[in-house]
Amino acid sequence: MTSPQYVFQDSDRDREKVRLSAIQDEFDPDSRHRLSQIGITAGWFALEVGAGMGSMMSWMATQVGNKGKVVAVDIDTHFIENTNLPNVEIRRLDIAKEKLVISYFDVCHARYVLLHLREWEKAIENIWQSLKPGGWLVIEEPDFSTSTAVGHPASKPVNRVNKAIINMFNSMSIDPYFGRRLPEIFQQLGAEEIKVETYLPFANGGSRIAQIMKMSAQHLTDRYVGTGECLLADVEQYIAAADDPLAWAYYYTTVATIGRKPLIEP
């Protein structure tokens, strides 16, 4: 999903493909588990918002089968535009500005999308309206407050970069703690059966999450340094620590919130 403040909108296609692939490998298993928990099955109509490389879209297509359907939406459909699955429809649209069919989907899934949208309230309103009564909403967003390096000579420069990341988001009117807002958002929607799950990786250099953050730092070095919270040398040490198996850190927390639209709305 891209938007005017999306930090990776100017990324090289090949480099972005590698980054998105790593994100899929790291986070898809938990996303699939959450959708399995709510009972996604044959015949369901599913919506994937911010389809990215299309891994979750493709997995949902196998779950809903030929009698079901998956609609995948994104502002940039470059990586999925050649999808050739009979039960998948690709739509290039801005979910904050374009409405979908009302009361159509049994489930909607979105991961790391809303925090990048200035009009996220409108986006979630459009998503909520598109769900059938009794339909499920599964949203996963990050909370960067937990990012902390520990017990390594590079901990101080790494933590300066962590501060720069938060400062960068704030300067772009992006909430770096968006994930923690999800339970309240679901309550305001009137969702039922709300369940919250969190994933906080504690990992060393060389791990997949470390490599994901390394790729982000390589692309966003100028933005990080531009915040004034860190120096170029700090970013270089951050990148080096991402490859060092002796460098351990807590990374950002993913907050996943699941809720069900009431069968009878108030």
Domain assignment present for residue 5? The answer is no
Q: Rounded to the nearest 5 degrees, what angle is found at the Cα of 261, between the Cα atoms of 142 and 137?
A: 30
Q: What is the pLDDT of residues 85-143, one digit of tens each?
A: 999 999 999 999 999 999 999 999 999 999 999 899 999 999 999 999 999 999 999 99
6 pLDDT above the threshold of 60: no
Please give the model's pTM, rounded to 2 decimal places. Answer: 0.92
State both tokens at 111.
Answer: 């991961």
Q: Alpha-carbon distance 45 to 253, whole Å?
A: 29
69 pLDDT above the threshold of 70: yes
Domain assignment present for residue 265? The answer is no
User: What share of the chain has pLDDT > 90, as a percent?
Assistant: 84
Domain assignment present for residue 34? The answer is yes
246 pLDDT above the threshold of 90: yes
Domain assignment present for residue 2? The answer is no
Contacting residues for 69 by C-beta, under 8 A, at least 6 apart: 45, 46, 87, 88, 89
10 pLDDT above the threshold of 80: no
Contacting residues for 120 by C-beta, under 8 A, at least 6 apart: 96, 114
Domain assignment present for residue 8? The answer is no
Domain assignment present for residue 35? The answer is yes
pLDDT higher for 19 or 14?
19
- pLDDT at res. 151: 84
**What is the span of the domain harbouring residue 136?**
13-260
Domain assignment present for residue 1? The answer is no
Q: What is the pLDDT of residues 165-194, one digit of tens each?
A: 999 999 999 999 999 999 999 999 999 999
- Identify whether the C-beta of residue 36 lies closer than 8 Å to the C-beta of residue 109: no
Contacting residues for 12 by C-beta, under 8 A, at least 6 apart: none
Count of the separate structural domains present in the chain: 1
Q: What is the pLDDT of residues 132-164, one digit of tens each?
A: 999 999 999 999 999 999 988 899 999 999 999
Domain assignment present for residue 7? The answer is no
Q: Alpha-carbon distance 7 to 223, whole Å?
A: 9
Here the CATH number for the domain that contains residue 256 is 3.40.50.150
Q: Alpha-carbon distance 118 to 108, whole Å?
A: 20
- pLDDT at res. 5: 56
Q: What is the pLDDT of residues 33-44, one digit of tens each?
A: 999 999 999 999
- pLDDT at res. 1: 43
